[in-house]
């Protein structure tokens, strides 16, 4: 196939969900998905894999089983987008042309943006659920005490709550293993708070105090020395870049200059820096400057491209001021589908609007979870049905069951089938 009425770049959560919903609304649409990977992963469960509470193999399925019936799968990758020519250049299939384009390739890990990380990641005691959750569990299981450091980069990342979820699970594991009294659990974040939505931050701050977790805000990681097990941070508080150590320096921090901090670790879990794929960053479809530079330039409500009317984008690669999660995609997909169908049928945009909904299932232990739901501007936005029965700002066993069993079932059987 060299031309598609609707070409979708990306066969992950966003691409397959949009394709399935489009086909359900109009079975005559001629749709193609451009996706190189033969495997599809349910990545939200990787937090549980990293804590030994979920089988990694159960997160992996064949992509072919989820391409909607009647949709053409082009197993190849995009290398360039020429929006002015309605053309996508591929690695092996030549040029593809389209009437309408949906760009949803997700983001990519960019460990090279943090010096020393490429060499250290996945080796020894440096681990990440984002790249190899089975190694994370191995590191946590073998940990014998010392500084257990959990951190995240200054770039946007998938599921902003994930770096702290594994920390709560690891902390509980250390208690069960009888080594908590010789362990410092440290969460170092470039942000100013543990979580951006106050109702949920209140609960998380209480957990941090009760479990004696050392919270370091304004800590932006700058360098990792894997062989010497050291991580460096820049103290990044706006307007005050002189860092001061408290008298209780039990984790053994060292100040270098005015604003650099060196910390030794006995295990390190981190989210690698992340960015849009290179073909997006180098194309005119990305924002060319400003805070969203390199991410796809869309209207944050309609999800239509700001400059090319026949292009839409959703998911992790879209420049949207909300968390990059599967739950966000679940609310974005119907908006893209409705507005795109209206554009195809009437040459006028539909009126569907995305208000920024996202959700972060914050696992806080092996049987507890806080379901953080919010929309643009960090406004709480709870599901009306769930919130009728459960206070989602508190740790709940029912929400743990939702995370471990309910959400994976809904993902594979409903969302990817265009039914949720």
Contacts 24+ apart (CB under 8 A), 202-211: 202/393, 203/370, 203/393, 203/394, 203/395, 204/164, 204/362, 204/364, 204/370, 207/168, 207/364, 207/395, 211/168, 211/171, 211/185
Residue 340's domain comprises 3-107+276-357
Q: Are residues 185 and 121 in the same domain?
A: yes
CA dihedral 262, 225, 231, 271 (to 10 degrees): 170
pLDDT band at 242 (very low <50, low <70, confident <90, very high): low
Lowest mean pLDDT among 113-122, 214-223, 301-310, 378-387: 378-387
Verify that 265 and 280 share a domain, yes or no.
no
DSSP 258-308: TTEEEEE-SEEEEPPPEE--HHHHTSTTBB-SSTTBTSB-B-TTT-BBSS-
How many CA within 13 A on the CB side of residue 229?
Answer: 15
Whether 404 is covered by a domain: the verdict is no
- Which among 256, 255, 259, 261 has a CA at the least distance from the CA of 232? 261
- What does the pLDDT look like over 395-404, one tens digit per residue? 999 999 999 9
pLDDT of residue 385: 66
* 391: in domain: no
Over residues 32-45, the mean pLDDT reads 98
- In the predicted structure, residue 314 carries a pLDDT above the cut 90: yes
Are 117 and 102 in the same domain? no
Q: Are 256 and 304 found together in one domain?
A: no
- At 258, the pLDDT band (50, 70, 90 cuts) reads confident
Q: 102 and 125: one domain? A: no
The span from the CA of 55 to the CA of 362, in Å, is 19
Q: Is the pLDDT of residue 389 over 80?
A: no
How far apart, in whole angstroms, are the C-alpha atoms of residue 368 and residue 123? 30
Per-residue confidence at 392, pLDDT binned at 50, 70, 90? Answer: confident
Backbone angles phi, psi at 300, to 5 degrees: -70, -10
How far apart are the C-alpha atoms of 125 and 141, rounded to whole Å? 11
In whole angstroms, give the CA distance from residue 393 to residue 95. 49
For the segment 354-365, the average pLDDT, to the nearest whole number, is 95
Set 360, 402, 415, 416: catalytic member: 360
Domain boundary among 357, 381, 400: 357
Cα torsion angle, 250, 171, 175, 123, sign? negative
Same-domain check for residues 291 and 263: no
* Total Cβ atoms within 10 A of residue 155: 16
Q: What is the model's pLDDT at position 241?
A: 55
Residue 385 lies in a domain: no
Verify that 156 and 223 share a domain, yes or no: yes
Mark which of 215, 240, 273 sits at the end of a domain.
273
Residues 202 and 263 reside in one and the same domain:
yes
DSSP, residue by residue, 171-203 = HHHHHHTT-GGGEEEEEE-SSSSS-SSHHHHHH
Domain match, 239 and 346 both: no
- Whether residue 117 is found in the same domain as residue 264: yes
| Three-class SS state of 248 | coil
- Write down which residue in 273, 308, 332 finishes a domain: 273
Report yes or no on 411 lying in a domain: no
Query: Is 42 among the domain residues?
Result: yes
Q: Which helix (H) or strand (E) holds 16?
A: helix 13-25
- 265 and 124 within one domain: yes
Q: What is the CATH number of the domain that holds 146?
A: 3.50.50.60
Number of domains in the chain: 2
243 in catalytic set: no
Residue 286 covered by a domain? yes
159 is catalytic: yes
How does DSSP classify residue 322? S
Catalytic residue among 51, 149, 159, 296: 159
Kindly state whether residues 146 and 254 are assigned to the same domain: yes
The residue-averaged pLDDT of 58-77 equals 98
């Amino acid at each position: 196939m060299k031309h598609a009425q609707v070409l979708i770049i990306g066969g992950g959560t966003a691409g397959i969900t949009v394709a399935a919903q489009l086909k359900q609304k109009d079975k005559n649409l001629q749709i193609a998905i451009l996706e190189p990977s033969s495997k599809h992963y349910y990545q939200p469960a990787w937090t549980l894999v990293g804590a030994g509470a979920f089988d990694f193999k159960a997160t992996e399925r064949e992509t072919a089983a989820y391409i909607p019936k009647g949709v053409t799968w082009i197993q190849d990758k995009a290398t360039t987008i020429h929006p002015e020519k309605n053309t996508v250049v591929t690695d092996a299939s030549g040029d593809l042309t389209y009437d309408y384009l949906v760009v949803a390739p997700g983001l990519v890990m960019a460990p090279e943006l943090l010096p020393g990380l490429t060499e250290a990641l996945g080796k020894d005691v440096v681990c990440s659920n984002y790249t190899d959750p089975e190694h994370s569990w191995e590191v946590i299981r073998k940990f014998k005490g010392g500084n257990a450091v959990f951190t995240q980069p200054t770039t946007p990342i998938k599921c902003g709550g994930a770096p702290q979820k594994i920390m709560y699970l690891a902390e509980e594991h250390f208690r069960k293993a009888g080594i908590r009294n010789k362990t410092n659990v440290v969460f170092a974040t470039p942000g100013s708070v543990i979580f951006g939505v106050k109702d949920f931050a209140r609960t998380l701050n209480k957990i941090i105090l009760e479990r004696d977790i050392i919270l370091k805000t304004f800590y932006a990681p700058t360098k990792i020395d894997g062989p010497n097990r050291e991580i460096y941070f820049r103290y990044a508080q706006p307007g005050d870049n002189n860092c001061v150590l408290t008298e209780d320096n039990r984790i053994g921090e060292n100040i270098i200059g005015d604003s650099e901090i060196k910390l030794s670790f006995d295990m390190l879990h981190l989210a690698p820096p992340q960015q849009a794929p290179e073909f997006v960053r180098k194309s005119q479809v990305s924002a060319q400057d400003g805070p969203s530079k390199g991410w796809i330039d869309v209207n944050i409500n309609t999800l239509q491209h700001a400059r090319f009317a026949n292009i839409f984008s959703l998911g992790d690669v879209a420049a949207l001021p909300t968390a990059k999660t599967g739950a966000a995609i679940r609310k974005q997909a119907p908006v893209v589908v409705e507005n795109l169908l209206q554009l195809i049928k009437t040459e006028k945009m539909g009126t569907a609007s995305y208000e920024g909904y996202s959700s972060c299932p914050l696992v806080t232990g092996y049987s507890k979870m806080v379901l953080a739901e919010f929309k643009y501007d960090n406004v709480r936005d709870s599901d009306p049905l769930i919130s009728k029965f459960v206070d989602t700002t508190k740790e709940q066993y029912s929400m743990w069951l939702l995370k471990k069993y309910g959400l994976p079932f809904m993902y594979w059987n409903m969302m990817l089938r265009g039914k949720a």
